[in-house]
Amino acid sequence: MNERILISGASIAGLTLAHWLARHGFRPTVVERDPAPRAGGNGVDIRDDAVTVMERMGLMSRARELAADVHGMKFVDAADRAVARIDTRDAGSVEIMRGDLVALLREAAGDAEFLFGDSIRALEQDDDGVTVSFEHAPARRFDLVIGADGMHSNVRRLAFGPEDGFIRHKDHYFAFADADAALGEDRWVTMFNTPGKMAGIYRSGNHAQAKAYFVFRSARLDYDHRDVAEHKRLVGEAFADQPWAPARGLLDAALADPGFYFDALAQVHMDSWSNGRVALAGDAAWCASPASGAGAELALVGAYRLAGELAAAGGDHRVAFARYDAAHRPLVDRKQQIGPNVRLMVPKTDGGRCVRDTLVRLPLLKTAEAVERRLRARTARPLPNYHRAA
Ligand SMILES: Cc1cc2nc3c(=O)[nH]c(=O)nc-3n(C[C@H](O)[C@H](O)[C@H](O)COP(=O)(O)OP(=O)(O)OC[C@H]3O[C@@H](n4cnc5c(N)ncnc54)[C@H](O)[C@@H]3O)c2cc1C
């Protein structure tokens, strides 16, 4: 029942889902707009249940070998002197470059069929399945369709409506791009602030290349989310006049990088992640924003649960989609509470920056994190080991 499953998006959620669906005996097909999985981005965290998912996929030891081994965040003044540091190392989690994680997941999803360089044009549901037309490939029938195609999900637009109804803007924009490693300190994320802006450099312990990182505060901007030249213009204008010497080199490298990644810092909120035979996973369903530090964790755990619930329900999508929503939503709700994370990285004023620098010198943040972790460990329920119903 419901064996042919189309997934839109070959990133963290889509590839994890493809792996688990194939393992549970379904026949997944993945359609990805780009000619190959997109490799860009900074380090992402694999923690808690996401570690269990990666272990069950047989990928965790390789993820540990590839770990970015970043020690923490360092805030600098205009003369490039460190004014405060936060040690973010956490024995329970592994930080890995997003591109490395995507490559591991792509390998693990080898049993799926892939359609690269294509996108869904239209979806028509009926009682028995979904007729899908593509931009390039001929139309096909599938039993179910899953949108794992990111914050600006095409599947969500086609099956649930325009994105304005679901996206909550968080007053900032961010960009990631390649940068010269010589501009930053090894194994630290170096950040420089002016009011409402942050220019930074992310240096993993295991990569020759570093990543430039920019965030700026802004009311909602009107631009095409697929127009990279326009994204570069916005970031170029926002960071043209930084008094921090490395900022110029970071900006030049970023603007020259064809893999430049830019988006609004925003969240996706939906009352339900399914509509008939169509469901969503990952940022398409619940984007918590990079400020949550939980995008990869939510995508890995959510995709694992969605495939598992489909298997446990013998492919019955009505039962499975409802159980998936109920099981995964509490974690999403918790991770969407991003609290002061953005203010910490991008203070609005010089006064706010001074307060931030003082606060991060105190051991408060570590203590609060440790208390939260202990509370969570006490209430956590083990991640189910799903089996296919006969
Ligand atoms: C290039 C890139 C770099 C990123 N860098 C970071 C980072 O440094 N830090 C961070 O916290 N988060 C980053 N993110 C977001 C992060 O990957 C997600 O928050 C999270 O991991 C959830 O992943 P996802 O699979 O749901 O969505 P995403 O990772 O956003 O992937 C969505 C996928 O869907 C594909 N897609 C989009 N539209 C279509 C369509 N019409 N048809 C078919 N496929 C489509 C995209 O090409 C992409 O492969 C990045 C995302 C991308 C795409």
Q: How far is the CA of 358 from the centre of ligand 1 (A)?
A: 35
Would you state the pLDDT for residue 385? 95
9 CB within 6 A, ligand 1: yes
3-state helix, strand, coil in the chain (%, to 5): 40, 25, 35
From 17-31, 304-318, 358-372, the region with the lowest mean pLDDT: 358-372
99 CB within 6 A, ligand 1: no
C-alpha–C-alpha distance, residues 88 and 386, integer Å: 33
Round to the nearest angstrom and report the end-to-end CA distance of the chain. Answer: 11
C-alpha–C-alpha distance, residues 295 and 148, integer Å: 12
- Does the pLDDT value for residue 270 go beyond 80? yes
What element of type H or E holds 75? strand 72-76
Report the chain's mean pLDDT, rounded to a whole number: 94
Would you state the pLDDT for residue 208? 81
DSSP letter (8 states) at residue 291 = G
61-94 pLDDT, tens digit per residue, is: 999 999 998 999 999 999 999 999 988 888 889 9
Please give the share of the chain, as a percent, with pLDDT higher than 90.
Answer: 85
201-245 pLDDT, tens digit per residue, is: 999 888 888 999 999 999 999 999 999 999 999 999 999 999 999
The letter for the amino acid at 230 is E
C-alpha–C-alpha distance, residues 32 and 141, integer Å: 17
pLDDT bracket for residue 364 (50, 70, 90): low
Q: How far is the CA of 213 from the centre of ligand 1 (A)?
A: 16
Structural domains of the chain, ranges and CATH numbers in brackets: 4-70+93-166+268-341+367-379 (3.50.50.60)
93-124 pLDDT, tens digit per residue, is: 999 999 999 999 999 999 999 999 999 999 99
Query: Coil, helix or strand for 39?
Result: coil
303 CB within 6 A, ligand 1: no
10 CB within 6 A, ligand 1: yes
From 50-54, 218-222, 384-388, the region with the lowest mean pLDDT: 384-388
C-alpha–C-alpha distance, residues 258 and 281, integer Å: 27
